[in-house]
Amino acid sequence: MGRLAPSLRFPVTGSRGRRFPEREHPYRNPFQRDRDRIVHARAFRRLEDKTQVFPPDLSDHFRNRLTHTIEVAQIARTAANVLGLDEDLTEALALAHDIGHPPFAHAGEQELDRQMQRFGERFDHNLHALRIVESFEQRYAGFPGLNLTFEVREGIVKHSREIAPGETGGLEEYLPGLRPPLEAQLIDLADEIAYNTADLDDAYSAGFFTLDEAAAEIAGFRDAAAEVAREHAGAGERIRFHEILRRLIDRLVTGLIEGTVQAVEEARVRDVEDVRCHPCRLVRMTPESGALARELKSFLRRRVYESPPVLQERQRSVAAVAALFEYYLEDPARLPQPYARLAESGAPHRVICDYIAGMTDGFLRRTCQRLGL
Ligand code: MG
């Protein structure tokens, strides 16, 4: 395992800066300030009451989107530190990666997207996150939004996809056709490691499967279980499960670090510009850890995501989002201010979508209840 060349670390002094120029801070650099602004944003706090996968009424111990975000930041920072990348930029991006998430996990996102498609538009949580940090957060006198550096905004937009040359919709400034720096490329895989292992943990505690069932169906889990059985013969099942889980996290994070070092070496990129111009992303898992990640994912799909309790919850969520969208669409004057005013001058479906996307799960449920939906 080795660090990358220092020239592959995004230099904070090379930032393209903020949309509205600001005085420098005496002891925090621009990426550190961005991280702090994200932590102080309302959209960040709302993650506490947004479902990750499991509805909170089943247990007090499940991840929500805020605790998930903290886990992503922890994994991403570890990898950035070992690779010699900029930890502050990485952390800011990890903390921001889900702030555009609507209520009710992926079900909420898919339903908002479906509603928007009726009007020939889409809902994408990364683009929604950009709108939050560019304009919806109102807490500074000198500018709208959080006035984040270019690199953090670019990383938010390119979290899980590339921007094609010629793509429209206000994204032209974010270097279409170019890859984001390695710090930004890390987030997507750190996210995946965090949710695969956390969902396994939450689902195990909720009784979706036993340790033996996981060992029978996931080769990587079985190997780790054998190791734990040798090292901790007398431990109870729950402790053994957690010992297995920490080994899986370790293998995946190590695989991410080693896979990235290998890819960077093979691609012979020398600096951030080379990374940007390379035809594909260079942050990746080793083949072995990639195979483990796929195994976990397919087990979770079979045993958890497509299980009756999770599917029923998803249907309830979809129905609630759809009913609320319809209710406001029938008469946009029903929206609270300032949304009702915005809906008079702009496209009502867009305003309704923004309003609902900002809701926490709890607020959406209470709103539906109050309106008798
Ligand atoms: Mg996430």
Q: Which residue from 16, 98, 113, 116 is spatially nearest to 53, judged by alpha carbons?
A: 98
Whole-angstrom CA distances from 165 to 80, 188, 213, 319 are 28, 21, 47, 37
Question: pLDDT (tens digit, 9 = 90+) per residue, 13-35?
Answer: 999 999 999 999 999 999 999 99
Question: pLDDT (tens digit, 9 = 90+) per residue, 66-124?
Answer: 999 999 999 999 999 999 999 999 999 999 999 999 999 889 999 999 999 999 999 99
Q: Does the model's pTM come out above 0.85?
A: yes
Give me ligand 1 centre to Cα 327, in Å. 29
Sign (positive/negative) of CA torsion 24, 29, 34, 35?
A: negative
Crossing angle for the helix pair 308-330 and 361-370, nearest 10 degrees? 60
Question: pLDDT (tens digit, 9 = 90+) per residue, 239-294?
Answer: 999 999 999 999 999 999 999 999 999 999 999 999 999 999 999 999 999 999 99
DSSP H helices in 64-146: 65-83, 87-96, 105-117, 125-131
Question: pLDDT (tens digit, 9 = 90+) per residue, 171-194?
Answer: 889 999 999 999 999 999 999 999
Give me ligand 1 centre to Cα 98, in Å. 5
Q: Please, what are the domains in the chain?
A: 6-310 (1.10.3210.10), 311-371 (no CATH)
Give me ligand 1 centre to Cα 14, in Å. 28
Give me ligand 1 centre to Cα 188, in Å. 8
Q: Which residue from 115, 49, 117, 41 is spatially nearest to 364, judged by alpha carbons?
A: 49
Give me ligand 1 centre to Cα 104, in Å. 13
DSSP 213-265: HHHHH-HHHHHHHHHHHHH-TT--HHHHHHHHHHHHHHHHHHHHHHHHHHHHH
Asked if 353 and 116 count as a contact pair (C-beta separation under 8 A), the reply is yes
Give me ligand 1 centre to Cα 24, in Å. 31
Give me ligand 1 centre to Cα 91, in Å. 13
CA 37 to CA 141: how far, in whole Å? 14
CA 325 to CA 368: how far, in whole Å? 11
Query: How much is the pLDDT for 1?
Result: 46
Question: pLDDT (tens digit, 9 = 90+) per residue, 197-230?
Answer: 999 999 999 999 999 999 999 999 999 999 999 9
Query: How much is the pLDDT for 59?
Result: 75
Give rounded-to-5 percent helix, strand, coil for the chain.
65, 0, 35
Give me ligand 1 centre to Cα 194, in Å. 8
Amino acid, res. 233: A
- First-to-final CA distance of the chain: 56
Give me ligand 1 centre to Cα 215, in Å. 26
CA 367 to CA 59: how far, in whole Å? 23
